[in-house]
Amino acid sequence: MKYRIKFSKTGDTCYIGHLDMMRYFQKAVKRAGLDVRYSEGFNPHQLMSFALPLGIGVESTGEYMDLTLNASAGEKETMDALNDVMAKGIEILEIRELPDDKKRTNSMALVAAASYRIGISDESSEDVFKIVDSFKNSERILMEKETKKGTKTVDLKESVYDLTEKNGELLITLSAGSVLNLKPEEVISFLAGRDLNRINMRIIRTEMFGILDGQLVPLIDMDK
pLDDT tens sequence across 62-117: 999 999 999 878 899 999 999 999 999 999 999 999 877 655 678 888 999 999 99
- Which sequence spans correspond to the domains of the chain? 2-108, 111-221
Q: For residue 113, what pLDDT is reported?
A: 96
Q: What residues contact residue 189 under an 8 Å CB cut-off, 6+ apart?
A: 195, 196, 197
Q: For residue 137, what pLDDT is reported?
A: 87
**Burial (0-12, 13-18, 19+ Cβ within 10 Å), 224:** exposed
* DSSP three-state, residue 176: coil
Q: For residue 209, what pLDDT is reported?
A: 97
- CA dist 169 to 56, 124, 125, Å? 20, 12, 9
pLDDT tens sequence across 128-152: 777 888 888 888 999 988 877 788 8
How far is it, in rounded angstroms, from Cα 222 to Cα 111? Answer: 10
Mean pLDDT to the nearest integer, 1-27: 95
Q: For residue 183, what pLDDT is reported?
A: 92
Q: For residue 122, what pLDDT is reported?
A: 59
Element (H, E) at 57: none
> Taking the domain 2-108, which CATH number applies?
3.30.70.580
Q: pTM, whole model, 2 decimals? A: 0.90
Candidate ranges 7-16, 103-112, 149-158, 159-168; pick with highest mean pLDDT: 7-16
Q: For residue 104, what pLDDT is reported?
A: 62
Q: For residue 194, what pLDDT is reported?
A: 75
pLDDT tens sequence across 183-215: 998 888 888 877 766 557 889 999 999 999 999
Q: Where are the alpha helices (DSSP H) in the chain?
A: 18-31, 75-83, 107-110, 126-136, 156-159, 184-192
How far is it, in rounded angstroms, from Cα 133 to Cα 63? Answer: 30
Handedness of CA 91, 60, 167, 157 (dihedral sign): negative
Question: Which of 137, 125, 116 is CA-nearest to residue 187?
Answer: 116
pLDDT at 127 over 90: no
The residues pairing with 7 across neighbouring beta strands, listed in sequence order, are 63, 92
